[in-house]
Amino acid sequence: MKIVQDELQEVVGLNNIVEEYHLPKLQYLDVVIKETFRLHPPIPLLIPRSPNESCKLGGYIVPKGANVFINISPIHMDPRYWDNPLEFNPNRFMSLDGTTKFDYRGYNSNFMPFGSGRRICPGVPMGERMSAYLLASMLHSFDWSLPFGKEHDLSGMFNFMLKKKEPLIVIPLQRLPYKTLYM
Ligand code: HEM
């Protein structure tokens, strides 16, 4: 959180609120969101496919009309593609030249939080922007802490959409100097 807030302070400044034009400059925030989507993809089984002809895939016969689910969680955590896959390490998405690796267009078969192919999420541009804008605004305008004695429980509840098992309760604290920035 501290590194993202430092980046926000540099790009946005404490006398401003986050605007859409800041988003392309928030590269660390971008890799934090990518790493979060890697470890916690919001739709972990994508939307099921159904072949209109029987076919052979990876040595298995997939019958015509079968429901085929693509479970991306184990792909996102496969040690053949990711070093220390269970570790939260946003820097794995950062290239040496300072740009970020991978996008959401589904061309990398080891990272596809918005799916891939003809049925890829049509809301990628909006989903990508809104996730960044919301998180940036919340982290820029507030400091966040857990209630006294509470630990952060990251366990999820399996469903069509990934949900937290326990709701997250956090305490916001004003971070910007002027109250007018909150109106
Ligand atoms: C963080 C935000 C979002 C995530 C992570 C997400 C993720 C996904 C995923 C994984 C799929 C299945 C793709 C596949 O099976 O290959 C999907 C489908 C879909 N998404 Fe999203 N989505 C997001 C936001 C949105 C938004 C903002 C919209 C609309 C404005 C949207 C509309 C749809 C629709 C209509 C489909 C079904 C596409 C089809 O079956 O052809 N999504 N989304």
Query: 2-182, superfamily in CATH?
Result: Cytochrome P450 (1.10.630.10)
Please enumerate, as own/partner, the contacts of 19-27 that have beta carbons within 8 Å and a separation of 24 or more.
20/129, 20/133, 22/136, 23/129, 23/132, 23/133, 23/136, 26/132, 26/136, 27/94, 27/98, 27/99, 27/100
The answer to whether 121 is annotated as binding is yes
Ligand 1 atom with the shortest distance to the CA of 115 = 16
Q: Where are the domains of the chain?
A: 2-182
pTM score: 0.94
Q: Using the predicted structure, report yes or no on whether residue 96 has a pLDDT greater than 80.
A: no
CA of 73 to the centre of ligand 1 (A): 16
The yes-or-no verdict on residue 55 having pLDDT over 90 is yes
Cβ 85 under 6 angstroms from ligand 1: no
- Residues pairing with 1 in the sheet: none
Tokens 């400044």 locate to 13
Model confidence pLDDT, tens digit, residues 108-145: 999 999 999 999 999 999 999 999 999 999 999 999 99
Residue 131 Cβ contacting ligand 1 at under 6 Å: yes
Q: 99 pLDDT exceeds 80?
A: no
Residue 161 near ligand 1, beta carbon < 6 Å: no
